[in-house]
């Protein structure tokens, strides 16, 4: 849903105040085009913003959304691949999707277009999170402007979303503590995930029966209540990508990195190079010695574990002190341009400067994947390809930079994580964005 918000200012159904419904992927299995949390808006006139599957199931989802607006309630739709019925609506890739559909404003705490348009900006420049209830027994959402500092156990708004009468009652406190253990890491890390919690009266899986739960001697215990399902979408400010070197390769990498969502800074010690108009598209252009700039940014707390440093200066007087500084920080990626001969000389210089072999193992040099790249534009593709592969490995996926046509098995193997649940046995998948 957060990905759609920048478009709401210009989307005509939102501008004109039409009724709308939001359809969201809340369950995914196998090979699917889009991850958990992907949303699509449908207006009462059938206009669409966003996509759930790249075209496989959108028509059926639109029809279900129109029906949900007519009925005024939420609904679930399931889509998979049917080998028996070639004309059935489903995913030709063989995956399975579970879609939650909710008319906007239908629940007491429901999302409203006017509120979303107020929060929508020109791009994902600020932190924001949504916690939405997506089980069959509830709806609505809580908007969180500052995910990093949000406290679950003290939020009366979240307690109301979960159907708790008071956050002071012992069962409510117990459930909020369980929710906090799962929700707060997602919020603070800028991740998307589905959390399922047992209602406070008892367990929702296995053989445990809730307290005071009625039984029938003929049929056994009645079905346990459905767990509370909360979909978390958290967005942090964009990760930073620092380009060191105002040259042709830096000019090509700048827009390519922005396509991946990075906040790009270009740094060069030479004013005549850094001031060229071709670098004006960067969010920030800095004229300073690279290693001093990086050390200053780290000291000011403006560098974090998602930051990427691409050293394209190809000049030892800049490269060595900069790489020594960069490899001493907790950065997501450090890469340096140069030939293999330059790389060997660079390694010797860094070892002589006191950089450890362990830190040197984090250096991507020569920078980029081996795509046969020659031109600056091709090298930019090579670098961004390695960034994507590196962040997928960081998220736990097994990644090999080879052609898909030469492989076998599922295309989408990660990043997949399991969200632990309170008294619930089914794991859910979540996307972990690196940017």
3-state secondary structure of 415: coil
Q: How many residues does the chain have?
A: 435
Q: What is the pLDDT of residue 324?
A: 97
User: Which residues are within 8 A (CB) of 114 and not within 5 positions of it... i.e. 6 or more apart?
Assistant: 17
Q: What is the pLDDT of residue 8?
A: 86
| pLDDT tens-digit profile, the chain (435 residues) | 888 888 888 899 988 889 999 999 998 776 666 788 899 999 999 999 998 876 678 889 999 999 999 988 888 888 875 444 333 444 455 568 889 999 987 666 677 877 777 776 545 567 889 999 998 877 788 999 889 889 998 898 898 888 887 777 787 888 888 899 999 999 998 889 999 987 655 433 333 333 334 444 445 545 556 788 999 999 888 999 999 999 999 999 999 999 999 999 999 999 999 999 999 999 999 999 999 999 999 999 999 999 999 999 989 999 999 999 999 999 999 999 999 999 999 999 999 999 999 999 999 999 999 999 999 999 999 999 999 998 876 655 555 666 666 666 665 555 434 343 443 333 333 333 333
Partnered with residue 422 across adjacent β-strands are: 197
| CA distance linking residue 127 with residue 83, whole number of Å | 44
In the numeric block, which tokens belong to residue 410? 């599922």
Cβ-in-10-Å burial (0-12, 13-18, 19+) of 161 comes to buried
* Antiparallel, parallel or unpaired: β 128-133 and 215-216: unpaired
With tokens 């603070």, the residue in question is 188
With tokens 């699917």, the residue in question is 32
Q: What is the pLDDT of residue 61?
A: 92
Q: What is the pLDDT of residue 201?
A: 58
Please say whether the dihedral angle defined by the alpha carbons of residues 371, 386, 265 and 329, taken in this order, is positive or negative: negative
8 A C-beta contact, residue 130 and residue 142: yes
What is the chain's Cα-based Rg? 25
Q: How far apart are the first and last CA of the chain?
A: 17
Q: What is the pLDDT of residue 123?
A: 54
8 A C-beta contact, residue 25 and residue 35: yes
């Amino acid at each position: 849903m957060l990905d759609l918000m920048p478009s709401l200012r210009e989307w005509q159904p939102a501008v004109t105040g039409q009724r709308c419904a939001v359809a969201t992927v809340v369950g995914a299995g196998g090979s699917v085009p889009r991850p958990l949390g992907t949303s699509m808006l449908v207006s009462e006139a059938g206009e669409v913003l966003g996509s759930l599957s790249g075209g496989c199931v959108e028509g059926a989802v639109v029809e279900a959304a129109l029906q949900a607006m007519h009925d005024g309630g939420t609904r679930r739709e399931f889509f998979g691949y049917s080998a028996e019925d070639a004309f059935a609506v489903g995913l030709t890739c063989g995956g399975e999707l579970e879609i939650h559909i909710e008319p906007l404003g239908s629940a007491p705490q429901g999302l409203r277009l006017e509120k979303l348009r107020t929060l929508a900006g020109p791009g994902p420049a600020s932190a924001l999170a949504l916690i939405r209830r997506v089980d069959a027994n509830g709806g609505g959402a809580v908007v969180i402007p500052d995910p990093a500092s949000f406290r679950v156990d003290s939020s009366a708004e979240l307690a109301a979303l979960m159907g708790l009468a008071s956050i002071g009652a012992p069962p409510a406190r117990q459930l909020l503590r369980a929710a906090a253990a799962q929700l707060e890491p997602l919020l603070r890390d800028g991740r998307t995930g589905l959390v399922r919690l047992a209602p406070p009266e008892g367990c929702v899986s296995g053989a445990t029966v809730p307290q005071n739960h009625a039984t029938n001697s003929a049929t056994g215990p009645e079905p346990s209540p459905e767990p509370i399902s909360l979909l978390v979408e958290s967005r942090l400010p964009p990760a930073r990508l620092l380009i060191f070197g105002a040259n042709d390769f830096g000019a090509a990498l700048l827009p390519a990195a922005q396509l991946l969502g990075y906040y790009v800074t270009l740094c060069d010690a030479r004013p005549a190079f850094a001031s060229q108009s071709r670098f004006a598209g960067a969010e920030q252009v800095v004229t300073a010695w690279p290693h001093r700039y990086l050390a200053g940014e780290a000291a000011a707390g403006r560098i974090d574990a998602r930051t990427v440093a691409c050293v394209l200066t190809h000049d030892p007087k800049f490269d060595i002190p900069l790489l020594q500084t960069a490899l001493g920080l907790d950065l997501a990626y450090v890469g340096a341009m140069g030939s293999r001969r330059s790389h060997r000389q660079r390694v010797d210089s860094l070892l002589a400067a006191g950089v450890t072999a362990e830190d040197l193992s984090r250096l991507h040099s020569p920078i980029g994947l081996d795509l046969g790249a020659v031109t600056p534009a091709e090298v930019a593709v090579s670098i961004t390809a390695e960034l994507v592969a590196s962040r997928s490995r960081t998220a736990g996926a097994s990644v090999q930079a080879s052609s898909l046509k030469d492989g076998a098995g599922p295309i989408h193997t990660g990043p997949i994580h399991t969200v632990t649940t309170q008294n619930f046995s089914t794991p859910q998948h979540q996307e972990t964005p690196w940017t």
